[in-house]
Amino acid sequence: MDVALDLLSWALLLLGGFFAVAGGIGVIRLPDFYTRLHASGVTDTGAAYLILAGLMIQGGLTIITVKLALIGFFMFFSNPTSTYALAAAAHRSGIEPLPRAGGANTPEPVENTLPEPLDVTQKRPGSAPPSQP
């Protein structure tokens, strides 16, 4: 039983280490901020929870496991929140995501040769749309 638990926890630890290194390589190699956010999310979820689970199995039914579970509990709420805050702040500051490069469904950019239409309504961005009679 102990041997089986050890093997399980070691598999979890090694898998967590693999996810950590894969996410680190992704953070280095991916081309765009939002894709790097995805790679960071791999290490924040896969690596963190797998390693915490492996350590919990090694800790047994003690206060150590409770503390590890608390760490996992806080990570469960704080990591998505900080990732969301990062993505929202970057999007608000004007960082555009990469366009899909060379995919099958890539829309061809259409050259707009028409003159700009005269804007007679002068709608402001925050104003309400005019009500229909």
What CA–CA distances, in Å, run from 48 to 43, 44, 103? 6, 6, 33
Nearer to another protein, 98 or 123 (CB): 98
Instruction: Please report, in angstroms and rounded to a whole number, the separation of the first and last CA atoms in the chain.
Output: 77
Nearer to another protein, 91 or 123 (CB): 91
Which of 35, 46, 53, 55 forms a contact with another protein (CB under 8 A)? Answer: 55
What CA–CA distances, in Å, run from 77 to 82, 88, 101? 9, 17, 34
The answer to the question of residue 8 lying near another protein (CB under 8 A) is: no
The answer to the question of residue 6 lying near another protein (CB under 8 A) is: yes
Going through 18-81 in order, the beta strands assigned E by DSSP cover none
Rounded to a whole number of angstroms, the minimum distance from the CB of residue 62 to another protein is: 8
Which of 35, 53, 79, 113 forms a contact with another protein (CB under 8 A)? Answer: 79
